[in-house]
Amino acid sequence: SGGGGEGSGPASGSGGSWDPRRGWTLLYGLAIIAGGVYAYMKKGSRPSLIASSVIGSLLLVATWQMGSYPQAGVGIAMVTTGFLTLFMGDRFRKSRKFMPSGMLAVTSLLSASWYAGWPHL
C-alpha cells in the first residue's frame, strides 16, 4: 500500500499522530455545522441545517479516521470537500453572493486540493 515510514498504516495507541490537516478538518466540520445552525436560527432554513449536519458530520468522521486510517480519513474529507466545492460553486454562480456560497466554494476547493496532496506535501 505504498509509502512506508511514519503515518502509513494504522497508528498505534489512541488516535495516531496529529497532522495540521486533521486539525483543519475538525475545525472545518464544526464550522460547517455551526453555519447550518446559524442559518436555521436566522432564516429558518431547514435544508441548510440538514445539509450542514451531514457534511459536517462526514468531516468529523474523516477527522476521527485520520488518526488510525489516514488514507480513509483523507479520502472521506477529499470527497466531501470536493462535493461541497461543486455544490456551493454552483450556488455562487447562480446567486453571485460571495457569502456564504462563494466563500465555502473557495475554502472547500483549497481544502480538497490540500487533501489531494496527502501525504506527500
* Position 117 confidence tier, pLDDT thresholds 50, 70, 90: confident
Q: pLDDT tens, 84-108?
A: 999 999 999 999 999 999 999 999 9
Amino acid (1-letter code) at residue 47: P
Rg (CA), the chain: 15
pLDDT of residue 64: 96
Task: Measure the CA–CA gap between 64 and 46, rounded to whole angstroms.
Answer: 27
The DSSP string of 5-43 is STTSSPPSSSS----HHHHHHHHHHHHHHHHHHHHHHHH
Residues 77 and 115: beta-carbon distance below 8 Å: yes
21: Cα within 13 Å, side-chain hemisphere: 27
Nearest Cα to 78, choosing from 54, 112, 110? 112
- pTM for this prediction: 0.81
Cell numbers placing 41: 436560527
Per-residue pLDDT reduced to its tens digit, 13-61:
345 566 888 999 999 999 999 999 999 999 999 999 999 999 999 999 9
